[in-house]
């Protein structure tokens, strides 16, 4: 079951690589929200409703709340042990009442005794849904196998990684049929180094679609090209190109979306920010033009720890 984070999803299109299968438990930090400094809570107000995010002093997300109206909202809790995520709970409330059918708990266990393995157990609160995903790694930490077990059966995905001439390609095979390939490389342009990730999707072993992402040294997406596949020509073709520009603080300043086939006019959006005056500053209002839509954030910061409290936390 997929849980949606409207504001968080928007930021991930900019900040995080999208290629490849999940290899680690989903966990977030201040950086994923374009936040800096000792932020304790962030409340986002937008057209879809309101979101609230709570962080610990290390900057890890502990709780998120997405409120669509007074009676419909979702809450996610992240729980850590020894600095490692071991549990995530997605709780849904509809009509002001907790809904156990669509509320999900994720439990993570790690076993390093025999190689490396991460096990994710997924359980609905009413116990009608139960899944288990085992991720197996080589001694150097490279993902080699994903086994997904449900009451309907077991999917066993073989993962192969090959590095050649500076390019690393990871291929995912289900029942010996290629499902996805992710190729990572680096290019130099204008004195800058960029990471290029090309992800190709397959069905029945046949190519279906692809996405190429180019990111700068800060990991920010600067260009994304989506491709369709023409079986007659046996080749990919560009369907859409997104180009992103950032200001000196790393905030998105402009987005340009073009259609290489020429059947749609380019779309250009500008983003303007109001900052909160803190050190370092965070934005509290984002305006998008020409739509003239906006997102407002209110932030609460942690108070500085006293030297004694800080020393006690280090000892513990």
Of 21, 5, 69, give the one whose Cα is nearest residue 199: 21
What is the rounded CA–CA span in Å between residue 209 and residue 227? Answer: 6
Structural domains counted in the chain: 1
**pTM for this one?**
0.84
pLDDT number for residue 224: 98
With the CA atoms of 223, 229, 233 and 237 taken in that order, what torsion angle do they form, in degrees rounded to the nearest 10? -20
Higher pLDDT pick, 314 / 113: 113
pLDDT number for residue 10: 46
Of 112, 107, 114, 109, give the one whose Cα is nearest residue 131: 107
pLDDT number for residue 305: 81
Q: Is residue 77 part of a domain?
A: yes
**Domain range spanning residue 238?**
6-315
Q: What is the pLDDT of residues 145-175, one digit of tens each?
A: 999 999 999 999 999 999 999 899 999 999 9
Of 76, 57, 105, 89, give the one whose Cα is nearest residue 8: 76
Q: Is residue 1 part of a domain?
A: no
Model confidence band, residue 76 (pLDDT cutoffs 50, 70, 90): very high
What is the rounded CA–CA span in Å between residue 34 and residue 11? Answer: 8
């Amino acid at each position: 079951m997929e849980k949606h984070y409207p504001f968080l999803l928007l930021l991930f299109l900019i900040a995080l690589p999208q290629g490849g299968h999940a290899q680690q438990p989903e966990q977030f930090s201040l950086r994923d929200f374009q936040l800096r400094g000792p932020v304790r809570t962030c409340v986002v107000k937008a057209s879809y409703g309101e979101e609230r995010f709570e962080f610990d002093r290390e900057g890890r997300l502990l709780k998120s709340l997405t409120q669509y109206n007074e009676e419909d909202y979702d809450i996610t809790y992240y729980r850590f042990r020894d600095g490692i995520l071991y549990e995530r709970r997605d709780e849904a409330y509809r009509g002001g009442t907790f809904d156990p059918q669509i509320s999900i708990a994720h439990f993570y266990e790690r076993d390093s005794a025999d190689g490396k393995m991460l096990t994710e157990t997924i359980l609905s609160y009413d116990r009608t849904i139960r899944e288990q995903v085992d991720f197996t790694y080589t001694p150097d930490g490279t993902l080699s196998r994903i086994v997904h077990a449900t009451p309907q059966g077991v999917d066993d995905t073989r993962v192969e990684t090959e590095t050649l001439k500076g390019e690393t390609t990871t291929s995912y095979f289900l029942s010996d049929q290629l499902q996805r390939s992710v190729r990572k490389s680096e290019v130099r342009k204008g004195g800058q180094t960029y990471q290029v990730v090309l992800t190709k999707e397959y069905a029945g072993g046949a190519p279906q679609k692809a996405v190429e992402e180019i990111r700068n040294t800060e990991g920010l997406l600067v260009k994304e090209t989506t491709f369709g596949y023409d079986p007659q020509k046996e080749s990919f073709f560009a369907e859409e190109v997104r180009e992103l520009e950032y200001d000196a603080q790393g905030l998105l300043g402009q987005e340009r979306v073009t259609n290489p086939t020429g059947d749609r006019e380019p779309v250009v959006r500008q983003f303007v920010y109001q900052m909160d005056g803190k050190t370092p500053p965070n934005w509290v209002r984002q305006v998008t033009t020409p739509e003239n839509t906006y997102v407002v954030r209110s932030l609460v910061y942690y108070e500085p720890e006293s030297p004694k409290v800080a020393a006690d936390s280090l000892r513990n």
